[in-house]
């Protein structure tokens, strides 16, 4: 039951916010909207306000906003030309199309801002859990339970700050101050370059002193400005990691078996819902960022594909031919169908093997 509730909440919020971006921008630029639908297929509930029909449809795997004059070959009443999407400038059309993915990023920022503003920011404390053998930390006398107070003259408040100072040291000796019980101990440690694997299984060289975190965390309270800055940063970092992951998939550095579809999202949504509202909100933000980036890929049918066509139109001063667009969209639909089949296969294999 938690899986069903979780996926309904996640997909409902994501689809609504994405389509809301298209809808609001279309309205702002004077484009008539004929239908705002959450889901595809047969209508379950609908209500018409003005000329716009708002509806919830049976297949909850997407949504759409149908605008007046959306298709270049669409016949429209001359009186409706001022409301036609096709008759707007290419710049305005690009903004309307881009608004969907942009609203996915906005949603993530809003979620992070809400959570950070209410619950604060969870930070990993610079407390040592393990000192690895035959590395600089052990040689200098560091022990499990030591709290790093400062490194190289810089006050350390969390584990990330400490790791960054060590990584950027270049191997030079650092003055390290630690608290051990009621004692304050000062020592010199020269980080050692090690070959380590990153999350993509690639070998990277990094300076380390050979310690791991004890796992102690604390909550840092944030004011509105700090919470907003952290929300922007968190959204940026996740988006950056997602883009790098897509590139690594294309390069073959990351296995395509890691791709997941609706079944995996439903399972994860259910798990996060069981963990509590905050976990579910973070999951929605994560998926929203991924959805925003996916939609910006230059694949016909997706928003990124439309932006590609409009960019060509802006450069050549004439729209891409209808025939070219139709062929490209057919190819795009085929690619998306193949992708959907593949991720469904991955999801099923995970269930079978799990």
Catalytic residues: 19
What single string gives the DSSP state of each residue in 243-297?
A: HHHHHHHHHTSS-GGG---HHHHHHHHHHHHHH-HHHHHHHHHHHHHHHHHHHTS
For 8, the 3-state DSSP assignment is: helix
CA separation for the pair 42, 27 (Å, rounded): 26
Which residues, in sequence order, are bridge partners of residue 205? 195
- Helix ranges (H only) for the chain are 2-28, 90-119, 136-140, 159-167, 224-251, 262-275, 277-295, 303-316, 322-353
């Amino acid at each position: 039951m938690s899986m069903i509730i979780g996926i309904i909440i996640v997909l409902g919020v994501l689809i609504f916010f994405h389509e809301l971006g298209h809808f609001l921008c279309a309205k702002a630029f004077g484009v008539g909207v004929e239908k705002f639908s959450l889901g595809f297929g047969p209508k379950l509930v609908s209500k018409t306000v003005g000329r716009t029909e708002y509806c919830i449809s049976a297949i909850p795997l997407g949504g759409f906003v149908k605008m007046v004059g959306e298709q270049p070959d669409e016949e429209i009443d001359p009186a409706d030309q001022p409301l036609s999407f096709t008759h707007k400038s290419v710049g305005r059309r690009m903004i309307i199309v881009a608004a969907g993915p942009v609203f996915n990023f906005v949603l993530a920022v809003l979620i992070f801002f809400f959570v950070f503003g209410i619950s604060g920011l969870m930070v990993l404390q610079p407390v040592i859990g393990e000192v690895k053998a035959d590395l600089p930390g052990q040689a200098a006398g560091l022990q499990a339970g030591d709290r790093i107070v400062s490194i190289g003259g810089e006050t350390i408040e969390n584990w990330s700050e400490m790791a960054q100072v060590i990584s950027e040291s270049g191997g030079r000796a650092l003055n390290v101050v630690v608290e051990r019980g009621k004692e304050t101990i000062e020592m010199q440690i020269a980080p050692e370059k090690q070959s380590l694997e990153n999350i993509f299984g690639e070998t990277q060289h990094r300076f380390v002193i050979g310690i791991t975190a004890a796992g102690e965390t604390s909550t840092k309270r944030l004011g509105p400005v700090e919470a907003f800055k952290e929300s922007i940063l968190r959204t940026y970092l996740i988006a950056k990691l997602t883009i790098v992951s897509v590139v690594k998939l294309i390069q073959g550095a990351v296995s395509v078996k890691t791709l997941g579809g609706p079944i995996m999202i439903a399972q994860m949504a259910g798990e996060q819902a069981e963990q509590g509202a905050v976990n579910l909100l973070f999951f929605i933000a994560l998926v929203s960022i991924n959805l925003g980036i996916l939609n910006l890929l230059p694949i016909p049918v997706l928003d990124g594909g439309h932006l590609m066509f409009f960019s060509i139109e802006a450069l050549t001063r004439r729209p891409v031919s209808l025939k070219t667009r139709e062929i490209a969209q057919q190819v795009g639909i085929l690619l998306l169908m193949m992708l959907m089949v593949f991720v469904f296969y991955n999801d099923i294999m995970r269930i079978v093997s799990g």
